[in-house]
Structure 1
Amino acid sequence: MSEFQELIKSFAKSRNYVRDFLIYGFKSRDDFSVKSGRTYDNERRRIECWLSGYIRSDYSFQGKTVFLAMDSSLLGVNPLYRAWKAKSFTANDIVLHFLFLDLFRAGGSYTADEMADRLLSDYQVLFESQLVRKKANEYVKEGILMSRKEGRKLLYFAVPGAETAIPDILPKLLDAVRFCQLSMPLGVVGSMILDQSRADNEIFVVKHGYYGFTLEDEILFLLLRAVREKCFVTLINRTNKMAKDEAIRLVPLKIFVSTRTGRRFLCGYHAGRKRFSTLRLDHIQSVKVQEPFPDYDFYREKLAKNIPRCFGVSFGSSHAMDTVRLTLKIREGAEDYILSRLEREGHGGRITRTEENVYTYELSVFDGNEMMPWIKTFIGRIIRFESNNEYLVKKFYGDIRTMAKMYEIQERV
C-alpha cells in the first residue's frame, strides 16, 4: 500500500482538487467519484498540510464538506501560493539540490564530469556523471542554473539571485514586490522573491482579493508567452457540461479580467471557425505553444474593433447582432442616478427621453444574453423589453413569470 506524501508530482491534479472541492464545490467525500475514496482522503490531507488554518468543515445532509475560509483584508500573502512551492522529490534529488547550491555558491562553471568529480572530492558523495548531467539539465530548464558552450564543452553555472545581481537596488524594490505579489497576475513570483530575500509583507493588504485565481497562473503564463511570440496554441478545455476534454487550436490575442468577480478569460482567434471565441482560464487544463501565426497583427487589430460590440466577453453564436431596447420609468429629479447608471454601465447605449418620466435605452451587441443579469437589476422600472432576438424576449418574460409564480404575485406579463 502506498504511503501518504505531502508533496506533489502533478500540480494540475492538485489544482483541480483545491479548486473543485474547496473554492467552487463545497463537496463531500461522496461527491468524489472520479477515483477512490482513499485518493480523496490523501489529496484532502495534502491540501490541509499546505492550508492549515484556512480549512473549515461543515456537516449537512450530504455529510462532511470542507472549504476555504480566508479574509483577504487580513492577509499579507496569498495562502494558495503554498501549493506552488510543494513538489515531490527523491533522496538523490534533495541531496543534489543542496550540494549544487553549495558548489556554485562561490561562482565558477563546470561540466557534468567536473561537477561529479567535485562532489566526490569536496563532499565524499559519489554520483554518476550521467545522473549529475540529467539533474543539471533539469535545473537549467527550471531556471536555477544556466549553461553555455565553450568549444565542445557544455558548462553549467548558477543564475545570480536578485540579492547578488542588484544588491543596491533590491531593498528599494521590495515594497513594490510586496504590493505586486498581492495585486498582479503571477504574483507567486513576487512571493518567491520575498522568500529568497527573507522579507515579509507587513505593509499592504487587499480588501477584495480574488486569491483563488492564482491556481491558473501557470496556464496564464503560457498564454501570455504565446501572445508575445504571436503563436498558435493547442489547449485542453474542460467544462462541467462536457463529458470529456476537448482539444482546441487557436491563436491567443488577449486576456480579459472581470472587475466584478476577478475571473479571467482567454480571447483568441479560431482559424478553423474563422471567428473570435473566449474560454474561461479555470476550464483550461493544459496549454502547448506551437508555431507562429503569420496574420497575427491583422486579427489583433480586428479584435480591437470588435471589442466595443461586446457587452462582456462573448462574441455570440452567430454573425448577427442582438439589439436590445428597454423602456424605463424614471422619476425625473428624484431618480437621476438611474440615468447616471445607464450612462456609466450601459456600454455607450443610446438613451432617449420619450415622454415625461419615461426613457428608452437601446444597444446592439454580439451576445444580448450577456446583458440579461444587468437588465434585471432595473426590474420595477422596466415598462417594456424588446429585442430582434426572439429568444431573449421569451427568456426575459419567462423569467418574470417564474419569479411572479415563486413569490405568488399576480401575473401581468
Structure 2
Amino acid sequence: MAFNELIKNFANIRDYMREFYVYGFKSREDFTSKSLRSYDDSRRRIESWLSDHMSFSFTPDGKNVFISVDSRSCGSNPLFKAWKSRSFTDGDIALHFILMDILSEDKELTLKEILEEADTYNGMFEEGRVFDISTVRKKLNEYVDLGIVISRKEGRNTYYKRGKEYELPAREVLRFFSEISPCGVLGSFIEDKYDRSHKGIEDTLSFKHHYITSTIDSEILYTILDAMGDKCEVDITSVNHRRQETFTDTIIPLKLKMSAQSGRQYIMCFSIKSEKMVAYRVDYIVDAAKGEAVSYYDEVKCKFASMEEHIWGVSIPHAMEHVMFEICYGKYEEYIRDRLIREKRCGTVTLVREGVLRFEADVYDSTELVPWIRTFIGRITALEFSNKGVERRFREDLLRMYEMYSEEEAK
C-alpha cells in the first residue's frame, strides 16, 4: 500500500514524536507497543515534515533519531507542520467549498434551500456527487460550533449564514503569538493566509529560549482551557512514568502555569477524585474530555487564589515551610539587589544593612526554591529552612562541591 503523509488520528503521532524524537532518543528496536510497520509509517511521516531538523546518533544499541533545532536560524516552530497534515475525504473538501460558496453572498438560507443549491453543483464533478440531508446538517452544525457559520431559529426552520470575517492581525503579531503562546498553532494557521512569497518575517523575531515541543499538546491544552473558560470539569487520562501506568481523574482546571526555565506546562486544578488541589503536567496527559459545568467553580478558584500566595512553583503539599537567606553585594553590584527583588515571587526582601539583603518566604514546598537559591552561592551569608531535611541536603551538596573542586585544584 502506498505511503500517505496525511493522518487521521493525531494522538498516535503525538506519542511517536514525544517518545522517540523529543524525550526518548530511542531506536526502532525499543518500540514494542505496536507493530514495527506502524512505527515505520509514522517515522516516515514525521521525517517528511521535519527533514530539515532531524539528527542521528549511533550507539551500541542502534541508530537513534531526534529533533535538533537552532532557534537562531529557525524563526517558526517546525512542529506546526504535524497539525496541518490531517487527512480528509474528497466529499469533505468538496462539501466545504460548496457550502462556503452558497453562503458567500451574506444571505440566510434554510437547510432545504442549501440542499437545493448544492444539487446544482453536480455538473462540476466528473462523477455525480449527492449529499444527503444528514451529512449537510452535521457539517453545518460543526461549522456553527466553530463559529464559521451562524445559525438562527425561526419557528420550525433554522437559518444559516456565514460568520463575520475579521481583518488579519499584523503578521509579526501572529508570528510572536504562534511561537510563545499556549496553543500557538492557532496563530500559525491564521498566518498561513498571508502570501508566503514575501520573505523576511523569519528574520524579524528570534528566540534565545524557544520551547517548541509544547505545541504537541495543543489539542489537550485547548480542551482544558475551553473548560476553564466555561467553568466546567474535565475528565483526563494521565501517565505515571515512574510506575509505567495510566490513571484517570476528574478535575476542575483553575490556572495554566508555564516554566520559564524548561517550557513545561502545568495545569493547576482541583481533583474531584482526591478532593484536593493538584498540579498535572500537560505533556503527561494523553486524553482530555470537557465535562459538565461546575456550580461551585468560583468557590474553588477563590480557595486556590488564597493558596497561590504560598506556591513558589507548582507543588502543593499540606504543611507550610519557612525559608530565609541573606546575601551580600558590593558597591557597584546593585544589579544583584535588583535581581533578588525582581525574582522574589511570593517572598519578601528587606535591607539588613548596607550591602546585605534578607529574603524570606512561607511556601508549601521549600525544595522548589533550592535551584534558585543555588544561583546566589558565593554571596549567601546566612541560610535557614524550617524543613531541616531540605537545609541539610543543601549544605551537604555544598560540601561535596567544595570537596570535588578542592581535589581538582590539588591535582
Fold in common (TM above 0.5): yes
CA deviations on 1:270-312 (whole Å, 9 max, x unpaired) are 3454432211121222222223333333333333332231222
Partner of 2:182 in structure 1?
185
Q: CA RMSD in A?
A: 3.4
In the alignment, the residues of structure 2 paired with residue 249 and residue 108 of structure 1 have an alpha-carbon distance, to the nearest angstrom, of 43
How far off is 1:22 after superposition? Answer: 2.0
In the alignment, the residues of structure 2 paired with residue 285 and residue 375 of structure 1 have an alpha-carbon distance, to the nearest angstrom, of 34
Q: Please say if residues 80 and 185 of structure 2, whose CA atoms lie closer than 8 Å, have aligned partners that are also in contact.
A: yes
Compared CA separation, residues 361 and 3, structure 1 to 2 (3 A): same
Partner of 1:22 in structure 2?
21
In the alignment, the residues of structure 2 paired with residue 91 and residue 241 of structure 1 have an alpha-carbon distance, to the nearest angstrom, of 44
2:98 partner letter: L
Partner of 2:386 in structure 1?
388
Partner of 2:135 in structure 1?
131
In the alignment, the residues of structure 2 paired with residue 359 and residue 248 of structure 1 have an alpha-carbon distance, to the nearest angstrom, of 44
SS of residue paired to 2:195: coil
Q: Please say if residues 182 and 205 of structure 1, whose CA atoms lie closer than 8 Å, have aligned partners that are also in contact.
A: no
How far off is 1:367 after superposition? Answer: 0.3
In the alignment, the residues of structure 2 paired with residue 325 and residue 224 of structure 1 have an alpha-carbon distance, to the nearest angstrom, of 36
Partner of 1:206 in structure 2?
206
2:137 partner letter: R
SS of residue paired to 2:26: coil
How far off is 1:368 after superposition? Answer: 0.9
How far off is 1:358 after superposition? Answer: 8.2
How far off is 1:45 after superposition? Answer: 0.9
1:288-307 equivalences under 5 Å are 288-307=289-308
Partner of 1:287 in structure 2?
288
Compared CA separation, residues 174 and 367, structure 1 to 2 (3 A): same
Q: Which moved more, 1:293-302 or 1:195-204?
A: 195-204
1:213 partner letter: S
Q: Which moved more, 1:148-157 or 1:24-33?
A: 148-157
Check if 1:259 corresponds to 2:260.
Answer: yes
Compared CA separation, residues 231 and 331, structure 1 to 2 (3 A): closer
Q: 1:369 aligns with which of 367, 370, 395?
A: 367
In the alignment, the residues of structure 2 paired with residue 359 and residue 171 of structure 1 have an alpha-carbon distance, to the nearest angstrom, of 49
SS of residue paired to 2:87: coil
Partner of 2:151 in structure 1?
147
Q: Please say if residues 230 and 293 of structure 1, whose CA atoms lie closer than 8 Å, have aligned partners that are also in contact.
A: yes
Compared CA separation, residues 96 and 373, structure 1 to 2 (3 A): same
Compared CA separation, residues 136 and 74, structure 1 to 2 (3 A): same
Compared CA separation, residues 234 and 385, structure 1 to 2 (3 A): same
Q: Which moved more, 1:286-295 or 1:199-208?
A: 199-208
TM-score by length of 1: 0.82
CA deviations on 1:352-397 (whole Å, 9 max, x unpaired) are 759x998765433110111122233344555775433243134334
In the alignment, the residues of structure 2 paired with residue 343 and residue 405 of structure 1 have an alpha-carbon distance, to the nearest angstrom, of 32
Partner of 1:270 in structure 2?
271
Compared CA separation, residues 119 and 212, structure 1 to 2 (3 A): same
SS of residue paired to 1:311: coil
Check if 1:60 corresponds to 2:63.
Answer: no
In the alignment, the residues of structure 2 paired with residue 337 and residue 121 of structure 1 have an alpha-carbon distance, to the nearest angstrom, of 72
How far off is 1:175 after superposition? Answer: 4.6
SS of residue paired to 2:52: coil
SS of residue paired to 2:278: strand
Check if 1:195 corresponds to 2:196.
Answer: no
How far off is 1:197 after superposition? Answer: 4.2
Partner of 1:31 in structure 2?
30
In the alignment, the residues of structure 1 paired with residue 341 and residue 107 of structure 2 have an alpha-carbon distance, to the nearest angstrom, of 64
Q: Which moved more, 1:357-366 or 1:36-45?
A: 357-366
Q: Please say if residues 18 and 24 of structure 2, whose CA atoms lie closer than 8 Å, have aligned partners that are also in contact.
A: yes
Compared CA separation, residues 194 and 249, structure 1 to 2 (3 A): same
Compared CA separation, residues 262 and 407, structure 1 to 2 (3 A): same
Compared CA separation, residues 374 and 409, structure 1 to 2 (3 A): farther
Partner of 2:70 in structure 1?
71
SS of residue paired to 2:11: helix
In the alignment, the residues of structure 1 paired with residue 171 and residue 326 of structure 2 have an alpha-carbon distance, to the nearest angstrom, of 53
Q: Please say if residues 73 and 205 of structure 1, whose CA atoms lie closer than 8 Å, have aligned partners that are also in contact.
A: no
Partner of 1:167 in structure 2?
none
Partner of 2:82 in structure 1?
83
1:387 partner letter: F
In the alignment, the residues of structure 2 paired with residue 323 and residue 293 of structure 1 have an alpha-carbon distance, to the nearest angstrom, of 35
In the alignment, the residues of structure 1 paired with residue 296 and residue 143 of structure 2 have an alpha-carbon distance, to the nearest angstrom, of 36
SS of residue paired to 2:51: coil
In the alignment, the residues of structure 2 paired with residue 334 and residue 230 of structure 1 have an alpha-carbon distance, to the nearest angstrom, of 51
CA deviations on 1:125-184 (whole Å, 9 max, x unpaired) are 33241334344444444444443334333444333443xxxxxxx267455334433333
In the alignment, the residues of structure 1 paired with residue 364 and residue 2 of structure 2 have an alpha-carbon distance, to the nearest angstrom, of 53
1:272-351 equivalences under 5 Å are 272-316=273-317, 319-326=318-325, 330=328, 332-333=330-331, 338-347=336-345, 348-349=347-348
1:207 partner letter: F
Q: Which moved more, 1:14-23 or 1:123-132?
A: 123-132
Identical-pair percentage: 36
2:183 partner letter: L
In the alignment, the residues of structure 2 paired with residue 189 and residue 320 of structure 1 have an alpha-carbon distance, to the nearest angstrom, of 41
In the alignment, the residues of structure 2 paired with residue 404 and residue 82 of structure 1 have an alpha-carbon distance, to the nearest angstrom, of 48
Q: Please say if residues 249 and 273 of structure 2, whose CA atoms lie closer than 8 Å, have aligned partners that are also in contact.
A: no
Partner of 1:247 in structure 2?
248
